[in-house]
Chain A
Amino acid sequence: MGTELGVYKTCVSARSTSKEILKKAQDGGIVTQLFAYALDEGIIDGAIVAGPGPEPWRPMPMVALTSEELMASRGTRYNLSPNVALIKEVTRSYGLDKVGIVGTPCQMQAVRKGQLYPAGLRDVPDKIALAIGIFCMENFPYQSIKQLVEDHAGMALPAVKKMEIGKGKFWVYGERGQVVTLPLKVTHKYEQPGCHVCLDYVANLADVSTGSVGSPDGWSTVFVRSKKGDDIWSKAMAAGCFETKPIEQVKPGLELVSKLANEKISKNQKTVESRATFGVNKALRNPYVSPK
């Protein structure tokens, strides 16, 4: 396909130089580090992140105005955090002029559509200062995660230290060192159905996108995409925020990213197409064609 990784200026393998950030980061601490730098430098006034929620491992969108608040949102929560829900409010009661937002590919799509076609997002289009996208294969409703961890993995949610989808498995790490893995096929039926029409793996529309695939443990693969992203990334590099390696020199590298991206897109493209003949002479709607 060749377009599966989107448009980008540079791609590297990177990790934060802050030991503090890395302690609880999912991978290389890219999102936390880049937002922390942008906050310190006044490039953003605040960032919409997935903060801690009312139940264990359930994220709640929140506006982080300090590095301390950013630290609380580290780590992947494999269920829905509607970050875009705050995109107008941050420019209202929070009074932000330069907004940072992190999100999945679909949330980056929502942000860009909101900038070009703002129907109910007055003054939002010009205030997006840094949109960081994270790679995403699929997401889960909270109840799915509960079911996977409690029923399938047999662990209590509050006792979980980290969850990870990688190397073909769903990994659950306990606070006391125990590790349970589930084969991915167990997880499939719990996926959010709306993810099955998604044609973006590596957050093509973000200023900077990042994810674990392609880089070794503790490191992240980073795509620098837009002019804004490039500008901020170069400054952060110059300020010594990140250690990097050329992506060509790390294993498994871009080849695996491309492979997974292609797999996601072609599988979901088929789903989109099959919707056209879902009923008997009746189709399900295709958002990529029309709102009708």
Chain B
Amino acid sequence: EIAGAPASPLDVVCLDANKDYVIISWKQPAVDGGSPILGYFIDKCEVGTDIWSQCNDTPVKFARFPITGLIEGRSYIFRVRAVNKTGISIPSRVSEPVAALDPVDRARLKSQPSAPWTGQIIVTEEEPAEGVVPGPPTDLSVTESTRSYVVLSWKPPGQRGHEGIMYFVEKCVADTENWQRVNTEIPVKSPRFALFDLAEGKSYRFRVRCSNSAGVGEPSEATDVTVVGDKLDIPKAPGR
């Protein structure tokens, strides 16, 4: 960064694109470096290359510029530098990629299926000790309760620990503290679960724990007592 040079321009976006030109605009930098901004340089780079080229020889005044000389069908990213009498700013953040295509062709390509592509698999080694055990899930509630099944749903924990969270559901016959894990083998990845093997007429409470590679976390707060019965019982929405 040059002392006295402006700060970088902001929010480089594409206003219009077709196969002949792309019009981009940007916001002037928050700081002019002490002397007025004389203009801007716009740079383009074809996606997939690292080659940046300057589009204009002399600085442009207006914060909007049509870029020509694009190859039809290729995608480009853009960045902008601001100039004052002291120097040139460091470049802005780059724009989203823009394809040099007429809108009709863009729409056609968008709706066309494309065969899958898989990148090189990257393998990394991780220390088992690094993992953080996730916190308890929240807002656990019984969203459906019938004679033959009960559906639970909850929210993932705020304190996520590692990625790849799985859940363990526990049940307990009301008035006891005898918690039993329901899914001992099958990992639950979605924040909902249906329990089927409950005894009709009995009352249960439920709770859920998170687990990841680092271990199993603390349980959520238990639900209120649910009677497994004939009626379709839809309790009030959680968190109200």
Are the chains A and B members of one assembly?
no
